Structure formats: C-alpha cells, structure tokens
Amino acid sequence: MPLHLVTWNVNSVRARLDNVLTFLDEHEPDVLCLQETKVEDRLFPRVPFMDYGYTVTLHGTKGYAGVATISKSAPSEIHCGFRTAPEDRAPRILNTVIDGVRIYNLYVPNGTALDSDAFPYKLEWFQRLEAEIKATCGAAQEVIVTGDFNIAPDARDVWDLEAMKDSLHFTAEEHEALAGLLSCGLRDCFRKHSEEAGQFTWFDYRNAAFQRGHGLRIDHVYATGGLYERSSRVLHDAEPRSWESPSDHLPVHAWFD
C-alpha cells in the first residue's frame, strides 16, 4: 500500500509544537518520525496529535535525545532501544511495525569529538544496530531505517569538503560504520532520485548558515529491496526553516507507491 513517511529532528517537540502541528495539518503523512524530542514520555504533548487521528508511540527522556513515531495506523509491534542488553545510554531507537513495514526511527549519537569517548561509542552503536537488524529482520521483511544519522555520506553532502575533511560527521570511521549498517540490504532513497550535490537537511543556527546554503545532509531514509523499488520521491522540505523558532533540521518526506 502507498506510504508517505516524514522524518524530522525537531530539536525539542515542545519548543516546536506549533510548527509540527502546522506541518502535520498541511501534509498529513502516514508516518511522522521525530527525533531529539527532549521530553519524558509522560510529559509528551500527545493530545494534539491524537486529535488529528494519529497514534503516538514514544521513547523519550528529559534533557536530550528522544524519539517519537506518530502514525495513522497503530503499530502492531513496538521495541524501544536495542533489543538485547546492555541498554543504550539514551533513548535513540524506536522500532515499530506499521502496516507490515518495520520502521526504525533513529537519533544516532552525535559523537561529540573525535578524541572523546563518545566517538567510539557512536561507532559501536552502529555495529550493534547492524547486528540486530541482521539477526531479527528476515529477507522478506520490508524495512525502513530513518532519522538523524549524524553522518554526511559523501562529498555531495557537505557544503565545504576541505573544511569537513577528517571532521566529525565525515570521517572514514563513520563512513565505514554507515556502510556496515547499509550492508543489511538498505539503500538510500534520496540518492535513488537525485545525484545532485548541495541538498542539505541540517543548517547551523549560527552565521546565517541556512541563508548561505552552508549545511550537511545527515537526515536519511533507507529502505530494503522491494520497498526501495517502490520509492517514488524524496523531498527535503525547506519551508519550515523559514517559520518562527524553527528546528535546525529540515523535515524529509519520502513517498512509496
């Protein structure tokens, strides 16, 4: 069946609630995957989404991180975090099955700095997720892995290649970790439709980065086999960045026939 999915790092759902609800009213996606919700599940503003007829599935905490999957159809299966011990350091994975499609909604660790313990944690995190998907998703399972990956895959996905060389979000180690995850049979839906450079999803709030086009493509939609073949369009939606108090990320639409 057709599917319209949107992934969006909202950088605090309560701070951007009016924007998110306006977006929802205008576009009515089947599934909206939010990241960096920054709120405990008990305090998440469920009611406005329910008033629109959506089911709200949460894995969040106060402070930072947090993911939410907002869907027209209720999930038939829900897993929060990694499915095997140890628990993740923060709520970053929400794994649901919606209308037969397994959707991994991810807020990938940032990595902080190359010389910090957060960087090897990021690489290990990818390895754990790769192992989980290979162990639990059969060849016939339709899978989408989407969210904020905190990795720009190649030179087309950074505004200044020289400045990004061997920098966080663009290291050989991160690219290898992402390639390992994609070896699960996942393919980049955006790149199915566009080879164009400079198509970014994140822009720093500082230095007028959005207005100057200085960004990174770090928010992705990956899909397996038949689902990838059904991918008909992917759009980086710049309009909400012009709204009052915007997120630093753009919502990414993905349509599947």
Fold of 3-256: Deoxyribonuclease I; Chain A (3.60.10)
Per-chain mean pLDDT for the chain: 97
pLDDT at 138: 86
Q: What count of Cα atoms within 13 Å lies in the side-chain half-sphere of residue 136? A: 18
- How far is 67 from 81, CA to CA, in rounded Å? 10
Q: Is 115 a catalytic residue?
A: no
What's the whole-number mean pLDDT along residues 97-108? 98
Query: Please, which pLDDT band fits residue 139 given cuts at 50, 70 and 90?
Result: confident
pLDDT at 191: 98
Q: Is 228 a catalytic residue?
A: no
What's the whole-number mean pLDDT along residues 153-168? 95
**Which residues, including other chains, have CB under 8 Å from residue 2's CB and lie 6 or more apart?**
255, 256, 257
Residue type (1 letter), 130: E
Indicate if the pLDDT at residue 20 is higher than 90: yes
Residue of 107, 157, 219, 222 with catalytic role? 107
How many CB atoms lie under 10 A from the CB of residue 67? 28
Residue type (1 letter), 102: R
Tell me, yes or no, if the pTM score tops 0.95: yes
Helix (H) or strand (E) segment spanning residue 186: strand 186-188
Indicate if the pLDDT at residue 111 is higher than 90: yes
Indicate if the pLDDT at residue 102 is higher than 90: yes
pLDDT at 140: 84
What's the whole-number mean pLDDT along residues 87-105? 97
Residue of 148, 157, 219, 248 with catalytic role? 148
pLDDT tens, position by position, 29-58: 999 999 999 999 999 999 999 999 999 999
Q: What are phi and psi of 179, to 5 degrees?
A: -60, -40
pLDDT at 251: 98
